[in-house]
Amino acid sequence: MTRKPLLSISMLLFIAILLAAGLVFFGRNRTIQLIGTDSNDPSAQADQEKENGNLAEKNEVIPFSVSGWIPYWAKDAGAASLDSGLQLFSEINPFAFGVDGSGRLIDKAGIGKSPWPELFKKARQENVRVVPTILWGDAEAMHKIFSDQALLEKHVETINAMLQKYDFPGADIDYEGKDIADKDGFSSFLQKLHEKLQTENKTLNCTVEARTQDAVPDGFTGIRAMSFANDPKALNDYCDTVRIMAYDQVFQVYRSNKFDIPGGTPEAPNADNRWVEEVAGYFLKYIPAEKLSLGIPTYGWEFQVTKTDNGHHYERVRSVTYPQAIQEAKAASATPVRTEGGELSFTYRTADGEHVVTFEDADSISGKIDIAKKIGLGGISIFKIDGETDPEMFKILGK
């Protein structure tokens, strides 16, 4: 009886082809993995791992945060305006607490009452952080607290107790109008608060006034030099996020409700894009971009204007929301035009003289977002969410 071969010739050919393909594939993979290196050289392997790590870092996407302040004086309208737009934010900041002369917190927002609990519940469902803002503008009281170690530590404990009570993940400190003499005292306060919150696994946002230089301008003393009471190095050391209030430009520059500006055309910028970029550039010298958030306004200002020999004299009349500005322009038969700094502005005359109004709309807000992204900042902070913004702003944020 003749025995059949164990493998046919065709089967042998098929196996040979598979073996050849496997050798080619293995060789190709080995070439890709080891080209330029010796697989048995530990230093070469370390170099390769380091390069792989660098590539991962280069390709890493840094999150761009969007936060918004909700003022207690417009809490219902602010919360309502977020009904369909809350998911556009990474964090919301209710202007919730003030501070009295002894360093105790004042619940100005009624934080346990509607609309807050409903808004906070929805925010958590949308994975939006809720971090309350503590707003303080009493320079004399701040000096008292910062100058007394016991009062300072008690103030820190008070803030921590509030965060624990409401289960907030951090605090936003907005202490404006400080005397420049309290620069070191404020830095000491931030250090102690940072250390306390760090032990509780909570974060610290620091909201500060804008500035463009280290040197204090001539004639700026006391609270007029408030921007210089913030030490950028201390802000970097103790704050998880630094929010720059890059608005109220003429007040930040002149520190007065009355001032003169040279030039033939009346204009009083609130947040000129060129100035905004200069402000951000200053802080970038001391603080990494990813820790900085650019404060963006949703409102503007109205001034009464008088012509001078080389320009105009300005006196503040009032702040204006977007709807107010649009309504005022319509009533005056004036057409708002885009300034070189990206804002909207118009002038009109009344019985008491000429007025100039400068304000923000969705396009000007979009321009400031572009600035923040262009220079790599960690995010933006919108002031304010009060139901009085340009409705198109939410479409801009949605992009």
pLDDT digits (tens, 9 = 90+) for 315-331: 999 999 999 999 999 99
Average pLDDT, integer, range 11-20: 45
Is the confidence at residue 19, as pLDDT, over 50? Answer: no
Give me the phi and psi of 234, to 5 degrees please.
Answer: -65, -40
At residue 160's C-alpha, the angle toward residues 154 and 163, to 5°, is 145
What pLDDT shows up at residue 155? 98
Sketch out the chain's domains with CATH numbers: 64-298+361-398 (3.20.20.80)
**Residues 103-126 pLDDT 10s:** 999 999 999 999 999 999 999 999
Q: What is the pLDDT of residues 331-349, one digit of tens each?
A: 999 999 999 999 999 999 9
Percent of the chain with pLDDT over 90: 82
The pTM (predicted TM-score) of the whole model is 0.85
pLDDT tens per residue across span 373-399 = 999 999 999 999 999 999 999 999 998
- pLDDT, position 324: 98
Lowest mean pLDDT among 71-80, 258-267, 288-297, 333-342: 258-267
Structure tokens at 342: 């990206």
pLDDT for residue 34: 25
Query: pLDDT digit string (tens) for 203-254?
Result: 999 999 999 999 999 999 999 999 999 999 999 999 999 999 999 999 999 9
Phi and psi at residue 32, to the nearest 5°: -60, -40
**Identity of the amino acid at 380:** I
pLDDT interval class at 62 (50, 70, 90)? low
Instruction: Give the pLDDT band (50/70/90) at residue 63.
Output: confident
How many CA atoms does the CB half-sphere of 350 hold within 13 Å? Answer: 12
Q: How many CB atoms lie within 10 A of CB 113?
A: 10
When pLDDT is averaged across residues 61-73 and rounded to a whole number, the result is 90
Summarised one tens digit per residue, pLDDT across range 144-153 is 999 999 999 9
| Polymer length in residues for the chain | 399
Q: What is the mean pLDDT of residues 157-163?
A: 98
Output the average pLDDT for the chain: 88
pLDDT at 61 over 70: no
Count of CB atoms within 10 A of residue 166's CB?
15
pLDDT tens digits for range 81-103: 999 999 999 999 999 999 999 99
